[in-house]
Amino acid sequence: MRELMSGNQAIARGAWEAGVALAVGYPGTPSTEILENIVAFKDDLICEWAPNEKVAFEVAVGASFAGARTIVTMKHVGLNVAADPLMTFAMSGAVGGMVIVVADDPGMHSSQNEQDSRNWGPFAKIPVLEPSDSQEAKDFIRYGLELSEKFETPVIVRTLTRISHSRSIVETGERTAPNPVGFRKDPPRYVAIPAWARKMRVKVEQRLYRLISEAEHSPINRIEMRDKKFGIIASSAAYQYVREAMPEVSTLKLGMSYPYPEEMIKKFAASVEELVIIEELDALVETYVKSLGIKCRGRDIVPGIGEFSPAILTEARAKLEDVKADTPKPVKESADLPMRPPVLCAGCPHRGTYAALKKFNPVVMGDIGCYSLGTLPPLSSLDSILCMGGSIGMAHGMQRVGEEKPVVGILGDSTFFHSGITGIINTVYNKGLSTIVVVDNRITAMTGHQHHPGTGQTLMGEQTVEASIEDIARACGVKRVRTLNPYNLKQTEAAIKEEIEAKEASLVVLKAVCPLYARKPVGTIHKIDEEKCIACGACVKIGCPAIEYKKGSKPKINPLLCSGCSLCAQKCPKNAISVCDEVVQNF
């Protein structure tokens, strides 16, 4: 059947068709929907959210060692977290096919950094496959699992925002039933003690040679001869952009972008007048081609920072042809439009936390989640964001060197389970004094509301044990643990004051469910009484998108957006904001 599918849907479908028995991962844009879509096949396979990518990876390794086919999914930074098991598993190697699906985000649409996951190929000496549309996304999962079994290696399928979140037509197929052989004891193969690891190390190099020969003949690497003036090597979405902007040029399409097919590249280079490498992010292929002594162009005509666009390709073409590209003129009517960055939703519980924190002007070491949206004005509440779970260690380090302002680390519930716990153990163990604020909205919100160990529900929809953040903190040795409602400003402020002043580490849980996840408003719609309002702007400073305010007038609450959280009312010095009884709620 032909179906329109996003790259992520196609990957999920591909995994099911190829007989995957276990799919595991941790959410992260743009990879999240792979596991969300695989749930549709839960009668045929196991799928799980792990608390972080490292655990997810290890779960997949266990399944592979037992002979089952498995995929593990994550965003690019997730593989940094899982790098430790990756590097050693690359040596012991897979039994049941194991594909690591890693999703890059060139241009950083929803990420804290930009990195090119193709680098893991040469680093771990394992194959990297790069689909360039949804059909290939589906097909490469099966091919990757087969490669993985044939060469006893983990295989990376690298996708990107424009593959994962683009839709195109896919021909679906049937499922091959899984046939796990079960675990067969073989310590020299699975136990990475130095004596055996040295042997594994040699096998890795031998495997790489065999993989190069596979790459030379792989059906997913192909030379497409057209006009011979230019020959372009490209993979992934970049291949599509090239076909669009330069339909007449010859192409070498790399479906397997590591290891490189040396002979194929040499042959292609010899059959065109000028060789060009068009690759997004790092110049990996270009560096390799140049190491072969082959002249080529690439980085001189396309940038290595950010995402490619059709305009960049049109310009590249103009540079190759040595003409001037005609770029459309900017529209003057849109030059001064106000920016519209993403913001905390109306009624978001994180807004209460920031409104309370602001009072004490602390240094806030932030973390990654919806609460990152408190960074920009008017909340302007975060002083740093590094990596998931990083808030706690950073706060501790800063406090230890004698920072004078109170130091607070703030992180979300999903982030707490991801990598916050070891940081807390560290703070307590090393006698730190920082205050840790867990903004517990009962879900992994930023990535689109996924369950985690604190929600009491699994990816497959079963009820399960609900891990308690408070109990974990106490078990780590935190003596001062308390739980508050972030919609109650006075209480929250009082509690934060006490904990900041306390001469020991403390942990405050600000607990309230994300209203977007709960699909219900927090309370009743509020309105501003124009008579009472003195236009002081205090309510505007909490940055609620439902409060509309133009300079020189009094603020208004948009009833279509208001969630009735009452935070603005608590901020108003004139009691001008109250619940509104005429309007019918429509959330």
Partner 1 sequence: MSKTTSVIMVGVGGQGILLASEILAQAAMLCGYDVKTNEVHGMAQRGGSVMAQVRFGEEVFSPLVQEGKADALASLEAIEGLRAAHYLQPGALAVVNTQQIIPVTVSSGLGEYPADSAERCESVFPNLKMFNAVEIANNLGNDRVANIVIMGALSTGLELPVEKWQEAIRKSVKPKFVELNLEAFEKGRQAAK
Binding site for ligand TPP (CB under 6 A): 26-28, 75, 77-78, 81, 112, 368-371, 388, 412-415, 441, 443-447
Provide the minimum distance between the beta carbon of 78 and ligand TPP in the complex, in angstroms, as a whole number.
Answer: 4
3-state secondary structure of 251: strand
- Closer residue to partner 1 (CB): 64 or 441: 441
Indicate which single residue of 574, 578, 585, 587 sits in contact with ligand SF4 (rule: CB under 6 A). Answer: 574
The one-letter amino acid at 236: S
Q: Which helix (H) or strand (E) holds 207?
A: helix 194-217
- Closer residue to ligand TPP (CB): 204 or 386: 386
- Closer residue to ligand TPP (CB): 455 or 566: 455
Provide the minimum distance between the beta carbon of 102 and partner 1 in the complex, in angstroms, as a whole number.
Answer: 16
Residue 316 phi/psi, 5° resolution?
Answer: -60, -45
Provide the minimum distance between the beta carbon of 380 and ligand SF4 in the complex, in angstroms, as a whole number.
Answer: 16
Do the Cβ atoms of 478 and 424 come closer than 8 Å?
yes
Q: How far apart are CA 226 and CA 224, in angstroms?
A: 6
Alpha helices in 322-450 (DSSP H): 349-358, 390-400, 413-415, 421-429
The one-letter amino acid at 185: K
Q: Which two tokens stand for residue 181?
A: 């052989």
Q: How far apart are CA 587 and CA 508, in angstroms?
A: 30
243 binds, among ligand SF4, partner 1, ligand TPP, none (CB under 5 to 8 A by kind): partner 1
Q: Which two tokens stand for residue 108?
A: 């950083």
Report the phi/psi class of residue 135: left, alpha or beta, with left for phi > 0 and alpha for psi in -120 to 50.
alpha
Provide the minimum distance between the beta carbon of 371 and ligand TPP in the complex, in angstroms, as a whole number.
Answer: 5
- Closer residue to partner 1 (CB): 86 or 237: 237
Q: At what angle do helices 134-151 and 194-217 cross, to 10 degrees?
A: 130
Provide the minimum distance between the beta carbon of 254 and partner 1 in the complex, in angstroms, as a whole number.
Answer: 16
CA neighbor of 547 nearest in space, from 379, 296, 389, 356:
379
Indicate which single residue of 334, 576, 585, 586 sits in contact with ligand SF4 (rule: CB under 6 A). Answer: 576
Indicate which single residue of 347, 352, 454, 543 sits in contact with ligand SF4 (rule: CB under 6 A). Answer: 347
Shortest Cβ contact with ligand TPP: which residue?
412
- Closer residue to ligand SF4 (CB): 186 or 530: 530
- Closer residue to ligand TPP (CB): 49 or 143: 49
Sign of CA dihedral 265, 268, 270, 275: negative
- 529 strand-pairing partners: none
337 binds, among partner 1, ligand TPP, ligand SF4, none (CB under 5 to 8 A by kind): partner 1
- Which residues contact partner 1 (rule: CB under 8 A)? 2, 4, 29-30, 32-33, 109-110, 133, 161-162, 165-169, 237, 240-241, 243-245, 247, 309-311, 314, 327-331, 333-334, 336-345, 370, 373, 377-378, 446-448, 540-541, 543-545, 547-551, 555, 558, 560, 586
- Closer residue to partner 1 (CB): 192 or 301: 301
Residue 265 interacts with ligand SF4 (CB under 6 A)? no
- Closer residue to partner 1 (CB): 112 or 578: 112
Degrees (nearest 5) of the Cα angle 498, 499, 500?
A: 95
Q: Which two tokens stand for residue 113?
A: 């950094």
Q: Per CB under 6 A, which region of 44-52, 111-119, 312-320, 561-569 contacts ligand SF4?
A: 561-569
240 binds, among ligand SF4, ligand TPP, partner 1, none (CB under 5 to 8 A by kind): partner 1
Do the Cβ atoms of 381 and 437 come closer than 8 Å?
no
- Closer residue to ligand SF4 (CB): 327 or 485: 485
Q: How far apart are CA 341 and CA 314, in angstroms?
A: 28
Residue 12 interacts with ligand SF4 (CB under 6 A)? no
Q: Which helix (H) or strand (E) holds 84?
A: helix 83-92
- Closer residue to ligand SF4 (CB): 428 or 562: 562
Residue 488 interacts with ligand SF4 (CB under 6 A)? no
Q: How far apart are CA 508 and CA 494, in angstroms?
A: 12
The β-bridge relationship of strands 221-224 and 249-254 is: antiparallel
Q: Per CB under 6 A, which region of 69-77, 212-220, 476-484, 571-579 contacts ligand SF4?
A: 571-579
Q: How far apart are CA 479 and CA 536, in angstroms?
A: 41
Cβ atoms < 10 Å from Cβ of 160: 29
Cβ density class 54-79: b for 16+ within 10 Å, e for less: bbbbbbbbebbbbbbbbbbbbbbbbb
Largest CA distance in the chain: 82
576 binds, among ligand SF4, partner 1, ligand TPP, none (CB under 5 to 8 A by kind): ligand SF4
Cβ atoms < 10 Å from Cβ of 502: 13
Q: Between residue 518 and residue 547, which ones bind ligand SF4 under the rule CB under 6 A?
A: 526, 528, 533-539, 544, 546-547
334 binds, among partner 1, ligand TPP, ligand SF4, none (CB under 5 to 8 A by kind): partner 1
Residue 261 interacts with ligand SF4 (CB under 6 A)? no
Place of tokens 């669009």: 244
Q: Between residue 407 and residue 446, which ones bind ligand SF4 under the rule CB under 6 A?
A: 441, 445
Number of residues that bind ligand SF4 (CB under 6 A): 38
- Give, as one character, the DSSP assignment of residue 72: E
Binding site for ligand SF4 (CB under 6 A): 344-348, 350, 370, 441, 445, 514-516, 526, 528, 533-539, 544, 546-547, 555, 557, 562-568, 571-572, 574, 576-577
